Chain A
Amino acid sequence: MTDPIHILPALDPLPIPAPVALFKFLHHLTLGLHFGALQLLLGGLVLATIWNIVGHASGSRSAIGASGTVAKKLTIVTTYVVNFGVPPLLFAQILYGQALYTSSVLIGAWWIAVVFLILIAYALLYRMTTLADAGRPWWHWGVVSFTLLALVGRVFSTNMTLMLTPEVWSTMYASNPSGTDLPPTDPTMWPRFAVMFLGAFSLGALGTSLWSHLSSVADDARVFLRRWSAISAIVFLPLLGAAGSWALDSQPESVRAALMGGTGATLAYAWVGSIALAFVAALALLATSRSRSALAPILGSVAGTTAIGLWTVLRDMVRDLTLAPKGLDVWATPVATNWVVVGIFLFSLVAGLVLLGWLVSVVARATPLEKNHV
């Protein structure tokens, strides 16, 4: 095997236009939002689909009502999954381009397929909304849509782990320059995939329980939604914890050792703590499923958001620990900042948030939808 240093493409000769720390901050912030929306989407989609099957099989109005409530929110959630995915990819390309462009090309056909898979899954969600409005069963589309999204997730997890293993690239490229193979899996791939998906069925489920508070939700549907979101979370949270420990165990020895000490360990314990808190919230939600109190859903969502944020930081640490000895030390990237440009961007960010805030206030004051307007 060649010296690892010679297997990475050369760094772009242009320095990056802001300090590494700023890019990292923006990356984590937006990726955390992407993951949050993602877990809501995947969790909501699976729960709503199952409820729709159960509802139409047993004629349960509460199940059908709850499934419709969640399903109708999924298109807008997808909008944000996609949109919050954009900036972290941009910043990851800036920070880890040498690795990320390469791994993307090596699975090129799959990588470009992601776009079309999402497009179809998205269109199916709109179709589901239409059917749900008409009170007709739509779960078959839910199954298809989820399958496509799971495949998308598999491609993402593959790319994000393939970028960490430059030692396999050369052979992969020699055997298939079109990128139509998904590579023999990296041992860290499935555990990472598992964390995202088990997180969806637990943390994402807690998030969906927030929708039980929409004024349009009927009483029986609300109780159903709260109860079954809670049960899903109670079942899957322990599995999520187990997947986390699997993800840690699957790391190469040096990475694991580095993670077990110092900041890594603190973050990992905090992650476990936030999952435990989410578990408590899930129990509380189950116990209060008949009540209208928003306390348990809010607590669960806060714990879930924290867990997602911590996971975002942890997986980034894994990346840096893995790549640094292979010749990509992200903190050594040459920097040449144009602060005026950074300032304009930050201004646009603040202005955008203010505008969004105004928009939310306008929509909140809108008179409720009349039926004939749907």
Chain B
Amino acid sequence: MNYPVWDVPVIGSGLVIAIIAVIHILISHFAIGGGLFLAMTETKALREGRRDWLDRLRKHSKFFLVLTGVYGAMTGVGIWFSIGLANPEGTSTLIHNFVFAWAAEWVVFLVELSLAAAYYYTWGRIPDKTHEKIGWLYAFTSFLTLFIINGILTFKLTPGPEWLALAGTGREAEAFFQAFFNDGFWPSLGLRSLACVSLAGIWSLVFFSRIDRETDGEVKIQLIRWSAKWLLPAFLLMPFFFAWYLLMVPGEHRDLMTLGMSTIGSGAFTQVTRMALITLMTTATIGLVTYFLAWLNPRDFSFGHGVSLLFLALIATAGAEGTREMLRKPFVVSGYLYSNSNRLADVPRKNAEGYLARSPWNPDRGDRPTVRTGERMFQGQCLSCHTVDGYRSMRKLLHGRDGKAIGNILQMLHENAPDSPYRKFMPPLVGTPAEIEALRQYLDILVNGKLTSPIVDPSAKAVPDSVKVDTLAAPAIDTAKKDSAAPAVRDTSRSTAPAAKDSARI
């Protein structure tokens, strides 16, 4: 445990990210598709002399400016804050790798926002041609932001052999471009672009639904139909890009999905499959609603209809992003960093010297592990995906198991055998036998209120906090403890960073 783990009761830190991210994606993808929407619609209106469209478009661009400039920007900052809290190690990895991609993203975003503001404030105040140009530049820069962030996001699932070969050598930056233009890059860019275009259509339907059907019926029909058309590309091309995307998903991650598919019959399908199905079904519903309510009856298309579409889009987005996140389990960066911040390469070392050996958060430094160590093990290695009582509740999942059964599960998690059913979605549990025993006792007390089976390893006399330590005191002989007392191991300063890297390479 290198960084402290942020403990968010009930919902868990992962869900904090998820909630902010889904809102952000709904808005930011609209900003991207919407840039194109504004530019194309203005060009069309100018070419076809539809002055009445322009007036609507001007108002639309105000809505746009506030939605993206305020809510889009702030939720974006929100995702960043939340990933830094929920997973500092993973955030640090991504930022070390891609800091200049992010910095460039920022430059582009700054220009994009300024273009959006100028676009709105100069309607009718500068020559049409110049205004149109600002619109197209806006469309271009907003697409560029997608292009850049897409490289960083896809890297996590498919970092690629070139980067992975250099990981841990200190030369990772040499593989920057392979890491950025990874296998998932193009199919994902395709999928996201289609989502952007559809969201632009959906948000525009919401916006134009408010045009009065009595006084402006004709404009309403035209604009609703025009907006509805924006959903078409997605329905035609999504399947193709989705198949391509799946093809690029590394085998062991795809298994998670096929595992789910094959068990649908028994009703036990995995969360990934469930999420993917939700996306599929809501997307289909969006298509039907758009066709029947917007395309066939544009005049009667109401604000309520628009909002329902938006709500469906929210679910589809949540499903799609959830699928993407779940597919990556148990990794943050596939093949490099587990969701619980253990690096794949560090597992043997941590098993030998102890999970908490170099940790600044070791509560039993220099002493034998106690239940307090067990709590740290839980916080450090389980809390990133589980909570105590809420989302993926540990109490619920372990309900009915006594201390011995808990010990068996932990042993399976620790061994992480190739045929272990847990391997596909849970990272290996690392640590010395004494630390794992401490975790077992902690969980036993957590779930059953007391120790329900005898202490297993006499060398790791972990005791509950409430029990007086002296009464159980025994000579500490476990290796974890001795190692953690050895200066060379305990030293986490910068001066030993190269040494740490050496051991990581082994």
| Chain A residues close to B by CB (< 8 Å) | 2, 5-18, 26, 76, 79, 82-83, 85-87, 89-91, 93-94, 97, 101-102, 104-106, 108, 111-112, 114-116, 118-119, 122-123, 126, 166, 169-170, 173-174, 177-179, 327-329, 332-334, 336-338, 340-342, 344-345, 348-349, 352, 355-356, 359, 362-363, 365-369, 373
A362 close to B92 (CB less than 8 A):
no
B80 proximity list for chain A (CB < 8 A): 89
A7 close to B360 (CB less than 8 A):
yes
Query: In the complex, what distance in Å separates the CA atom of A126 from the CA atom of B226?
Result: 31
Closest Cβ of chain A to B254, distance in Å, is 28
Q: Which residue of B lies closest to A90 (CB)?
A: B102
A174 proximity list for chain B (CB < 8 A): 363
A-B complex: 4 closest residue pairs judged by Cβ atoms: A101-B88, A14-B96, A177-B7, A366-B125
Q: Does B74 contact A (CB under 8 A)?
A: yes
Closest Cβ of chain A to B106, distance in Å, is 5
A348 close to B4 (CB less than 8 A):
no
Point out the residue from A86, A104, A116, A367 that lies within 8 Å of B84, measured CB to CB. A104
B95 close to A9 (CB less than 8 A):
no
Query: In the complex, what distance in Å separates the CA atom of A16 from the CA atom of B125?
Result: 47
A86 close to B106 (CB less than 8 A):
yes
1/0 per residue B469-500: CB within 8 Å of A? 00000000000000000000011111101101
B360 close to A8 (CB less than 8 A):
yes
Closest Cβ of chain B to A5, distance in Å, is 4
Interface residues of B toward A: which range? Answer: 35 or more
A366 close to B103 (CB less than 8 A):
no
A10 close to B500 (CB less than 8 A):
yes
A369 close to B125 (CB less than 8 A):
yes
Point out the residue from A86, A91, A334, A363 that lies within 8 Å of B77, measured CB to CB. A86
B492 close to A115 (CB less than 8 A):
no
Given A89-B80, A119-B70, A327-B494, 6 further pairs, Cβ under 8 A = A6-B491, A93-B92, A101-B91, A178-B7, A352-B107, A352-B108
Q: A10-B358, A13-B168 are in contact. Are A115 and B6 (CB under 8 A)?
A: no
Closest Cβ of chain B to A9, distance in Å, is 4
Q: What are 15 inter-chain pairs, A to B, with CB distance below 8 A?
A: A14-B93, A18-B100, A79-B70, A83-B73, A97-B95, A104-B85, A115-B75, A115-B81, A332-B495, A333-B494, A345-B103, A352-B107, A356-B110, A359-B114, A366-B121
Query: In the complex, what distance in Å separates the CA atom of A139 from the CA atom of B101?
Result: 41
Which DSSP category, helix, strand, loop or mixed, fits chain A's interface?
helix
Q: Does B244 contact A (CB under 8 A)?
A: no
Point out the residue from A179, A334, A365 that lies within 8 Å of B170, measured CB to CB. A334
B494 close to A366 (CB less than 8 A):
no
A337 close to B77 (CB less than 8 A):
no
Q: A170-B361, A344-B100, A365-B126 are in contact. Are A102 and B16 (CB under 8 A)?
A: no
Query: In the complex, what distance in Å separates the CA atom of A87 from the CA atom of B101?
Result: 12
Closest Cβ of chain B to A346, distance in Å, is 9
Q: Does B456 contact A (CB under 8 A)?
A: no
B95 close to A90 (CB less than 8 A):
yes
Query: In the complex, what distance in Å separates the CA atom of A363 from the CA atom of B123?
Result: 11
Query: In the complex, what distance in Å separates the CA atom of A291 from the CA atom of B361?
Result: 63
Query: In the complex, what distance in Å separates the CA atom of A141 from the CA atom of B85?
Result: 31
Q: Which residue of A lies closest to B168 (CB)?
A: A13
Point out the residue from B70, B126, B492, B498 that lies within 8 Å of A362, measured CB to CB. B126
A101 close to B173 (CB less than 8 A):
no
Q: Which residue of A lies closest to B109 (CB)?
A: A83
Interface centre among B84, B95, B103 (most CB of A within 10 A): B103
Closest Cβ of chain A to B143, distance in Å, is 14
A79 close to B69 (CB less than 8 A):
yes
A341 proximity list for chain B (CB < 8 A): 100-101, 173, 176
Q: Does B171 contact A (CB under 8 A)?
A: yes
Point out the residue from A105, A123, A170, A338 that lies within 8 Å of B88, measured CB to CB. A105
Which residues between 45 and 77 of chain B lie within 8 Å of chain A, taking CB atoms? 66, 69-71, 73-75, 77
Closest Cβ of chain B to A185, distance in Å, is 20
A9 proximity list for chain B (CB < 8 A): 2-3, 88, 360, 492
A336 proximity list for chain B (CB < 8 A): 170-174
Point out the residue from B2, B73, B130 that lies within 8 Å of A10, measured CB to CB. B2
A340 proximity list for chain B (CB < 8 A): 176
Which residues between 108 and 136 of chain B lie within 8 Å of chain A, taking CB atoms? 108-111, 113-115, 117-118, 121-126, 130, 134
B490 close to A102 (CB less than 8 A):
no
Point out the residue from A11, A177, A345, A356 that lies within 8 Å of B4, measured CB to CB. A177
Closest Cβ of chain A to B448, distance in Å, is 22
A173 close to B361 (CB less than 8 A):
yes
A179 close to B6 (CB less than 8 A):
yes
Q: A2-B365, A111-B81, A115-B78 are in contact. Are A169 and B360 (CB under 8 A)?
A: yes
A108 proximity list for chain B (CB < 8 A): 6, 8, 85
B494 close to A332 (CB less than 8 A):
yes
Q: Which residue of A lies closest to B498 (CB)?
A: A334
Q: A9-B360, A97-B88, A327-B493 are in contact. Are A177 and B93 (CB under 8 A)?
A: no
A82 close to B73 (CB less than 8 A):
yes
Closest Cβ of chain B to A337, distance in Å, is 7
